Amino acid sequence: MDFINQLPVWLVAIAIFALRIVDVSLGTMRTIAVVHGRMWLSVGLGFFEILIWLVAIAQVITRLNESLLLMLAYAGGFAAGNAAGIALERLVALGSCVVRIVSMDRGEEIAESLRELGQGVTTFRGLGRDGPRTLIYAICRRSDLHPLIEAARDIDPRLFYSVERVTEGSRVGPLVHHASWNILGRK
C-alpha cells in the first residue's frame, strides 16, 4: 500500500470520508440483520465493515501528523455514514410490520381489495365516536407497506392507519406466510 502514501493528503481525506460512509452504512445494515436474526448476512456484512474500517483508520493513524483534515474526514464520514445507513435501511426495508387500518364506511371494500391482491387481512367491527367502523389488520413485508397503503387509500382516501414493526412472530400461518405477494408482483 505504498502507493497510498504517495497520494496527496486531500485525496486520502476524500477516500477516508467515502470509506467511512460505506463501513458505517454496512454497520447499520449489520445491526438490523442481527435484530432480524439473519446470522449469515450479519456475518458477511460485519466482515466487510471491519475490513473497510481497518483501511480507513490505518490511513488516519499513519498520516495524521501530515494534516488534521484526515481526522475531520474520518469523523465526517462517520456522521454521513449514519444518514446513508438509515436511508439504505429504509430502501431495503427488511422485516415485517403490522398494519392497522380504520375506515369509516369502506372497510369491507378495502379488505376485499387487499385480499384480491394476495394480502391476508383480518377485519373487526368497532364503534368510534361518530359511529361504526371497520378495523383491518394485516401483516406484510415492510417493502410491501406503501403499495398496501396506496391500494387502501385508492378506495378510502380518508382512512386512518398505523404501522408497527414485527419484532417477533410465528412464521407459520396465513397471516405471515402468503402463497402470493401480488402487491409488488411477487409470486
Angle at 27 between CA 23 and CA 30, to 5 degrees: 135
Crossing angle between the packed helical segments 39-63 and 69-92, to the nearest 10 degrees: 160
Q: Is the pTM of this model over 0.85?
A: no
Query: Which tens digits make up the pLDDT trace of 24-42?
Result: 999 999 998 888 788 999 9
Query: Which tens digits make up the pLDDT trace of 63-108?
Result: 888 888 999 999 999 999 999 999 988 888 777 889 999 998 899 9
Which regions of the chain does DSSP assign to beta strands (E)? 96-103, 121-128, 131-141, 160-165
How much of the chain exceeds pLDDT 90, in percent? 53
Instruction: Give Cβ neighbours of residue 148 (< 8 Å, ≥ 6 apart).
Output: 99, 114, 117, 119, 138, 140, 183
